Structure 1
Amino acid sequence: MKIGVVRELSPAESRVALTPGAVYEITRRGHEVLVELGAGLESGIPDEEYSAAGARILGDAAAVWNESEIMVKVSGPVPEEHGLLREDMILFGFLSLAVNPSLVRALIESRCRAFALEMIQDDRGRLPVLTPMSEIAGRLVPQIGAHYLQRPSGGRGILLGGSTGVQPGRVVVLGAGIVGTGAARVASGLGADVTVLDRDIDRLRQLEGLRLRGVRTLVAGGMSIREAVLGADLVVGAVLVVGARTPALVDRDTVREMRSGAVIVDVDVDHGGCVETSRPTTLDDPVFVEEDVIHYCVKNVPATVPITATQALSNALLPYVLGVADRGLVGALNSDAGLRRGAAIVEGRVVSPPLAEACGAEHYRLSSVLPMHAEAR
């Protein structure tokens, strides 16, 4: 099969979907990889490395789209790319469809077969492609928050680790998943006073088991969230509902009552964000001030470190690309239940139950759209 890799057009998106190492593994299995000229430069990958790995370099993105049977992207197609989608194409990417109605329409109209990387699950319910990006984001956000808490950056003038005889800064993390746990770990290492809230007691118990210094856990509820946020210097939003829009757990009134110069880093803003005042920003213009609180709401935080993020993403994505290329789409779906869960829109029909609910669209069973054997239905 022909697999395509293009330069990402989303604002300040510096990652690329596959590394030369992944290209080598694909081409040695007899498949062809087409790479747009310059696609990997912002991730520190020159075209020569792709060529040496067996890729064919094309100077025009449209040519890559037109020739490819599988298109592998980081972010979902932007409006300029919608017209390049077609019926016989398989698309992989972080699609964020619950908050992207124009892309939903484009995917339905094109009748391509779209898989959302953030929805692919393994047999234990984990998110193997999203997880490395979440790990990176979780490790970055306390550093980001610490930067914007400094007075020259507009913040309160707080050092998260405090000083001898001085209380440390207070960090509140909403969500104890991969992002939240990573944020708690790094904030703890910085010496901050950290509170992590989640509705899942098992997650909180796992976090408690790490015995991180200065980290406490609370069951999330309307009152506990409000009280914690009002006392915070830094709030990290790390909430994810797979395939659906993120609920707003912090309302505008609560933000209005926060300390002047406090910072909110809402990681999952690409799915709506868990703070009512959040709105997506980019790495070129990452923050805004709302209710006298600094908001950092970048949709693609891992793109801050594209060399690391690209390598991690490519490692996680490669098995799924090879599975489809080697077995064909139906064969891969029959053998991989996790890949089936990543199916979002196939041949003009919404096949993801949470996406259908989020978009108010009719839901179709994947097995009613593609011919699959009984065990996969």
Structure 2
Amino acid sequence: MIIGVPKEIKTNENRVALTPAGVLEFSKRNHPVYVQSTAGEGSGFDDDEYEAAGAKILSTIEEVYAVADMIIKVKEPIESEWPLIKPDQLLFTYFHFASYEPLTEAMIKSKAVCLAYETVELPDGSLPLLVPMSEVAGRMAIQEGAKYLEKPVKGRGVLLGGVPGVAPGKVLVLGGGIVGTQAARMAAGLGAEVSILDINLPRLRYLSEVMPPNVNTIFSNEYTIRKMIRDHDLIIGAILIPGAKAPKLITADMLKTMRPGTVLVDVAVDQGGCFETTHPTTHDNPTYIIDHVVHYCVANMPGAVPATSTLALTNATLPYALQLANKGWQKACQDNLPLRKGLNVVNGKVVYQGVADAFGLDYVDVNTVM
């Protein structure tokens, strides 16, 4: 199978979908790899390293799409890439279809095979290709939130860890999954007073056992959220429903009850966001203010730390990508149920229920397209 690695062109997206180490693994198995020139520069890999590992370097993104049987990316194709996608071409990347209907319609029209990192699911319900970026995003949420709490950028002027004689800042984390756990751990490490809200009691019990003493676990409901947002300095949205839109846990009217300079970080922005007032931002212009509340809603947070993020992501994706190349997508998905769950759109048909439900589209059972 011919592998194509285009350069990411989403704003300030510096990650790359395949490292030179990954190229070498494909080359050893006789799969030709074509990498767009400078695709790895943002992550610290130059063209010479890719060539030494066995890749061929192509000058343009058009050449990469034209030659490849499988495109491996980090982020969903943006509009300028849609015309380059061919029928039956396999795209292996993050898609987050349920948050953006035009992308969904474009991929249906392309008749490509769209296999989404974020819905590859193990029998225990965990999402192995989402976990590494969730770990990065959860930790970054506190790093960025702490920065935007500073007064020069319109925050409350609160130091999360406080100092002797001054109480620490208060952090509220909505969701106790991977993102929420990592965010709470980082905030606790800075010395903040942290509360995690979730509706999964077994998960809350687990977190109560493993978290440091300055982290409280609380069962989530609307009444509790409305009460707690009034006096918390930093609120992290960390809700995920695989393949579907995130629920709106903080509504527009709630902002008026928060203190001026409160910071909201919505890590669920890729899935539509868990705040009603969320809209995607970029690293160039990461925040906006509504009712004196600072919103940070960057849709590719891990792209700001690509030297870490690329390695974390490719460690997880490479074994699956090799299966797809070695067996072809149909056989690989027949043999591997978690990989099969990654199929979202196949040859013009929506085969993932959450995507179909999001836009009222016809759903086709994935087993009928393989």
TM-score under structure 2 normalisation?
0.99
Indicate the SS of the match to 2:264.
Answer: strand
Aligned match of 2:9: 9
Letter in 2 for 1:195: S
Deviations 1:7-33 (A, max 9, x none): 111111111111111111111011011
Deviations 1:286-334 (A, max 9, x none): 0011110111000111111001100111111101110011111121011
Letter in 2 for 1:368: T
Aligned match of 2:213: 213
Backbone CA RMSD of aligned residues = 0.8
Q: How does 1:80-229 map to 2 (within 5 A)?
A: 80-229=80-229
Q: How does 1:15-26 map to 2 (within 5 A)?
A: 15-26=15-26
Q: Is structure 2 residue 234 aligned with structure 1 residue 234?
A: yes
C-alpha distance in 1, partners of 2:55/2:64? 12
Deviations 1:242-281 (A, max 9, x none): 0111110001111121000110000111111111111100
Is the contact made by 2:229 and 2:257 (CA closer than 8 Å) also made in structure 1?
no
Is the contact made by 2:185 and 2:211 (CA closer than 8 Å) also made in structure 1?
no
Letter in 2 for 1:75: K
Deviations 1:76-102 (A, max 9, x none): 110000001111200011111111111
Indicate the SS of the match to 1:83.
Answer: helix
Q: Is structure 2 residue 268 aligned with structure 1 residue 268?
A: yes
Aligned match of 2:334: 334
Deviations 1:220-257 (A, max 9, x none): 10101111112110000000110111110001111121
C-alpha distance in 2, partners of 1:236/1:211? 17
Letter in 1 for 2:40: G
Deviation at 1:123, TM superposition (A): 2.5
C-alpha distance in 1, partners of 2:228/2:82? 43
Q: Is structure 2 residue 326 aligned with structure 1 residue 323?
A: no
C-alpha distance in 1, partners of 2:30/2:169? 55
Letter in 1 for 2:137: A
Q: How does 1:59-74 map to 2 (within 5 A)?
A: 59-74=59-74
Aligned match of 2:361: 361
Aligned match of 1:314: 314
Indicate the SS of the match to 1:230.
Answer: coil
Q: Which runs of 5+ in 1 are unaligned?
A: 371-377
Q: Is structure 2 residue 342 aligned with structure 1 residue 351?
A: no
Is the contact made by 1:148 and 1:155 (CA closer than 8 Å) also made in structure 2?
yes
Runs of 4+ in structure 1 off by over 2 angstroms are: none
C-alpha distance in 2, partners of 1:164/1:253? 36
* Count of aligned positions: 370
C-alpha distance in 1, partners of 2:340/2:359? 19
Indicate the SS of the match to 2:229.
Answer: helix
Deviations 1:165-222 (A, max 9, x none): 2111010000000000000001001000101001111111111111313100111101
C-alpha distance in 2, partners of 1:269/1:151? 25
C-alpha distance in 2, partners of 1:63/1:325? 20
Q: How does 1:25-40 map to 2 (within 5 A)?
A: 25-40=25-40
C-alpha distance in 1, partners of 2:155/2:82? 40
Among all aligned residue pairs of Structure 1 and Structure 2, give the percentage whose two residues are the same amino acid: 45
Aligned match of 1:374: none
